C-alpha cells in the first residue's frame, strides 16, 4: 500500500528528507507545502515531491506520516493551529527542529486528542541552504534523534525508524530534555562562545588593526560556526535558554579556575591543564575514522603542506579531478602557528575527504595533516 507522506517546509532539511525517503524503494507519495511558491515549485520540478498542497492543513489531512521541516517557532505555531485539523486516525507526526522541549509542549494538545507525535532532529547540515542545496545523502552517518511523547509509542517509533531507514541516519531515541541538554553542551553553547570570541576580536581591532590579518588562520577555523544564520541562532538561544544559562554558569566557573591558575603561575598546574585538555580532545571520535557525525555541522578539510612553486595548486586540483573528487572550497593559510599546512581543501563529506587523502598521499611531494 502506498504511503502518503507530507513534508511541511521544503528547505535544505525538508528537501533532503524527501530525496532520502525516495531511496527506500517502497511506493510513497510525497505531498509538499512551503510558504514560498518558488521553493515548492523547485521541489516539484526536482521530483522531491509528487504533489503541491495548497496549505499545510490540506497536506497533513491526507498523510499517513507528517514531517514539519520548519524553524522551531514556525513548527510551534503550526502545531497550535492543527488542533482542529482532521488527521488520519493512525497518522504519525514528527518534526526536524533542533530544540525539542518547546515543540513537545506545543504538540501536547494534539497528543491529548490521541494523535501520535514523535519529535525528531536530524543532526546534519550544509554550508548552503534552501531547497537548491537539498541532497539525498545529507543524513548519512549522522545521528537522527527521536523524542517520542510517550513510552507507549514503541510500535510507532519502529514504524518511523523503518520509514527513515533509507536516509542512512543513525536513529537514536532520547527524552526531549535530555536532547536539549546535550545539544546545548556540544552545539548551542559553542556557537555562543564562538560568537563571543569574534566580538572580543572586533572590540580590539581599533587598537590592533593588523589582528584581523592574523586571525585568518586558526582563529578563523575555531570561530567558523559564528558565521551561521543569526535569525536561526537567535531562535535557538531563546528556545534553549534554560540549558544555555546552566552551561554559561559552568563556563564562568571554569574561567575563574583558569584565571586563578594564571594568578598562581604554577608551571606544573598550567601544563596539567593543557595536557588534560589535549588528552580529552584526542579521545573524541573522529569522522575521518568512521565515527557518526555529531550535532555541529562540520567542514571536511584536508590541511596540506605543499612546496611553494608555480602551478602547485593546479597539480593538487588535477589529482582530485582525475579521481572525480569534488571540493567545496580551497584556500591558502598565511598564519599557521596553530593550524597544520599551508593549503586547506574542503569537501562535501567524509568519504570525499578520505578518497582525496588517499589520492594525494600517492603524490610524494605532499604530506597531509587531518584535524
Using the predicted structure, report yes or no on whether residue 369 has a pLDDT greater than 80.
no
What's the pLDDT at 11? 92
- What pLDDT sits at residue 306? 67
Phi then psi dihedrals of residue 45, to 5 deg: -65, -30
Q: How many residues does the chain have?
A: 371
Q: Is the pLDDT of residue 293 over 60?
A: no
210-216 CB contacts, 8 Å cutoff, 24+ apart: 213/334, 213/335, 214/335, 215/335, 216/333, 216/334, 216/335
CATH superfamily of 3-174: NAD(P)-binding Rossmann-like Domain (3.40.50.720)
Given a cut of 70, is residue 339 above it in pLDDT?
A: no
**Spatial contact of 70 and 78, defined as CB atoms under 8 Å apart:** yes
Q: What percentage of the chain reaches a pLDDT higher than 70? A: 88
Q: Which residue has the cell 547540515?
A: 125
Measured in whole angstroms, how far is the alpha carbon of residue 50 from the centre of its chain?
27
- How far from 295 is each of 7, 74, 111, 188, 282, CA to CA, in Å? 22, 21, 28, 9, 18
pLDDT at position 295 is 53
- Location of each CATH 1.10.3660.10 domain in the chain: 179-283
Residue scoring higher pLDDT (167 or 357): 167
Q: Which three cell numbers stand for residue 117?
A: 507525535
Residue 101's nearest CA partner among 282, 216, 239 is 239
Three-state DSSP at 181 gives: helix
Where in the chain are all domains bearing CATH 3.30.70.260?
Answer: 299-369
CA distance 196 to 185: 16
The three cell numbers of residue 360 are 594525494
- Comparing 97 with 218, which gets the higher pLDDT? 97
What burial class does residue 169 get, using C-beta atoms within 10 Å of its C-beta: 0-12 exposed, 13-18 middle, 19+ buried? buried
CATH topology classification for 179-283 = 6-phosphogluconate dehydrogenase C-terminal fold (1.10.3660)
Average pLDDT of span 288-292:
50
pLDDT digits (tens, 9 = 90+) for 29-45: 999 999 999 999 999 99
Of 15, 299, 16, 291, give the one whose Cα is nearest residue 137: 16
**Where in the chain are all domains bearing CATH 3.40.50.720?**
3-174
Instruction: Return mean pLDDT, the chain.
Output: 86
| Percentage of residues of the chain with pLDDT beyond 90 | 55
pLDDT in the model for residue 299: 63
| Rounded Cα distance, 142 and 46, in Å | 24
CATH architecture of 299-369: 2-Layer Sandwich (3.30)
C-beta neighbour count of 103 within 10 angstroms: 26
Residue spans of beta strands (DSSP E) within the chain: 3-8, 28-33, 51-52, 65-68, 92-95, 116-122, 143-148, 170-173, 300-305, 329-332, 343-347, 367-369
Element (H, E) at 169: none
Give residues with Cβ within 8 angstroms of 167, minimum separation 6. Answer: 17, 20, 21, 23, 122, 139, 140, 144
Does 140 or 8 have the greater pLDDT score?
8
Instruction: State the pLDDT confidence band at 137, using cuts at 50, 70 and 90.
Output: confident
- What's the whole-number mean pLDDT along residues 63-78? 95
Measured CA to CA in angstroms, residue 95 lies from 7, 21, 107, 120, 148 at distances of 9, 15, 10, 5, 11
Higher pLDDT, 313 or 78: 78
Question: What's residue 31's pLDDT?
Answer: 97
Per-residue pLDDT, 328: 79
Tens of pLDDT, residues 250-280: 999 999 999 999 999 999 999 999 999 999 9
pLDDT in tens, 193-239: 999 999 988 888 888 888 887 776 678 778 888 888 888 888 889 99
Amino acid at each position: 500500500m502506498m504511503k502518503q507522506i507530507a513534508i511541511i517546509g521544503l528547505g535544505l532539511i525538508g528537501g533532503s528528507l524527501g530525496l532520502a525517503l525516495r531511496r527506500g524503494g517502497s511506493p510513497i507519495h510525497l505531498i509538499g507545502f512551503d510558504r514560498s511558491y518558488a521553493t515548492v515549485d523547485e521541489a516539484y520540478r526536482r521530483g522531491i515531491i509528487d504533489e503541491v498542497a495548497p496549505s499545510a492543513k490540506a497536506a497533513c489531512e491526507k498523510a499517513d506520516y507528517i514531517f514539519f521541516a520548519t524553524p522551531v517557532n514556525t513548527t510551534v505555531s503550526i502545531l497550535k493551529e492543527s488542533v482542529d485539523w482532521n488527521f488520519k486516525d493512525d497518522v504519525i507526526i514528527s518534526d526536524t527542529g533542533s530544540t525539542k522541549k518547546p515543540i513537545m509542549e506545543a504538540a501536547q494538545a494534539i497528543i491529548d486528542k490521541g494523535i501520535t507525535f514523535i519529535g525528531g532532529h536530524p543532526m546534519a547540515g550544509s554550508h548552503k541552504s534552501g531547497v537548491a542545496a537539498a541532497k539525498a545523502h545529507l543524513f548519512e552517518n549522522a545521528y537522527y534523534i527521536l523524542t517520542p511523547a510517550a513510552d507507549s509509542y514503541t510500535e510507532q517509533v519502529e514504524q518511523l525508524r523503518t520509514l527513515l531507514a533509507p536516509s542512512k541516519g543513525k536513529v537514536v531515541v532520547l527524552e526531549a530534555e535530555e536532547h536539549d541538554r546535550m545539544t546545548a553542551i556540544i552545539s548551542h553553547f559553542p556557537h555562543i562562545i564562538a560568537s563571543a570570541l569574534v566580538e572580543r576580536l572586533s572590540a580590539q581591532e581599533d587598537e590592533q588593526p593588523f589582528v584581523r590579518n592574523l586571525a585568518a588562520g586558526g582563529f578563523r577555523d575555531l570561530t567558523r560556526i559564528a558565521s551561521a544564520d543569526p535569525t536561526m541562532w537567535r531562535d535557538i538561544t531563546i528556545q534553549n535558554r534554560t540549558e544555555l544559562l546552566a552551561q554559561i554558569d559552568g563556563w564562568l566557573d571554569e574561567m575563574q579556575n583558569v584565571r586563578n591558575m594564571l594568578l598562581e603561575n604554577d608551571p606544573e598546574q598550567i601544563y596539567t591543564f593543557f595536557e588534560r585538555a589535549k588528552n580529552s580532545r584526542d579521545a573524541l571520535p573522529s569522522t575521518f575514522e568512521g565515527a557518526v557525525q555529531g550535532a555541529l555541522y562540520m567542514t571536511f578539510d584536508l590541511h596540506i603542506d605543499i612546496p611553494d612553486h608555480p602551478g602547485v595548486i593546479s597539480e593538487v586540483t588535477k589529482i582530485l579531478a582525475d579521481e572525480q573528487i569534488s571540493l567545496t572550497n580551497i584556500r591558502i593559510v598565511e598564519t599557521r602557528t596553530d593550524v597544520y599546512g599551508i593549503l586547506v581543501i574542503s569537501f562535501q563529506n567524509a568519504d570525499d575527504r578520505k578518497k582525496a587523502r588517499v589520492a594525494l598521499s600517492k603524490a610524494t611531494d605532499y604530506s597531509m595533516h587531518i584535524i
